[in-house]
Amino acid sequence: MKKIRPFTILALLFIFQTTLAQDSKYKVVFDITSKDSINQQALIRELGFIRNSNPNSKLEVVIYGQGLELAIKGKSPQEEAVKHLISDQGVSFKVCNVTMKRYNIDKSQLLPGVEIVDDGIFEIISKQQEGWGYIKVAH
């Protein structure tokens, strides 16, 4: 039986640990306030890239302001993509209740699976305090 070199064992342990750390700690909250279709497309594209390269990642999209349309049935240009991402256990979409009130939108108008938070900014800050990364979607 061949001897396994200590360096080989250390290298394998490092690779395993690095892979495990990437999978278990990849948590990002996205902030979208834009109704701009380019921003919304970029968000959907980036979420898909991340989930494909890191299936255990946790991703949350917080929608408020003019970004609200992204989560509304029949109005979202990304409706099918949002539904698909929501069906993925690692991606959530959350809408600010303050914004919903301002635009007279009720829960029945949201895409299935979209959640409501009391305050979108507070949700983002809370995630950051829990160690989540933060990305503002804009161009």
Rounded mean pLDDT, 95-109: 97
Q: Kindly state the DSSP code that residue 110 receives in the 8-state scheme.
A: B
Domains and CATH numbers, the chain: 26-136 (3.40.1260.10)
In the predicted structure, residue 17 carries a pLDDT above the cut 80:
no
pTM of the model: 0.81
**Element (DSSP H or E) covering residue 58:** strand 58-63
Predicted local distance difference test score (pLDDT) of residue 54: 92
Predicted local distance difference test score (pLDDT) of residue 24: 56
In the predicted structure, residue 109 carries a pLDDT above the cut 70:
yes
In the predicted structure, residue 47 carries a pLDDT above the cut 70:
yes
Q: Kindly state the DSSP code that residue 47 receives in the 8-state scheme.
A: H
In the predicted structure, residue 7 carries a pLDDT above the cut 50:
no
Rounded mean pLDDT, 73-101: 94
Predicted local distance difference test score (pLDDT) of residue 89: 82
Report the C-alpha gap between 5 and 2 in whole angstroms.
9
Q: Which of 25, 44, 26, 24 is nearest to 34 (CA)?
A: 44
Report the C-alpha gap between 90 and 56 in whole angstroms.
7
Rounded mean pLDDT, 24-53: 92
Contact 52, 90 (CB under 8 A): no
Contact 128, 96 (CB under 8 A): no
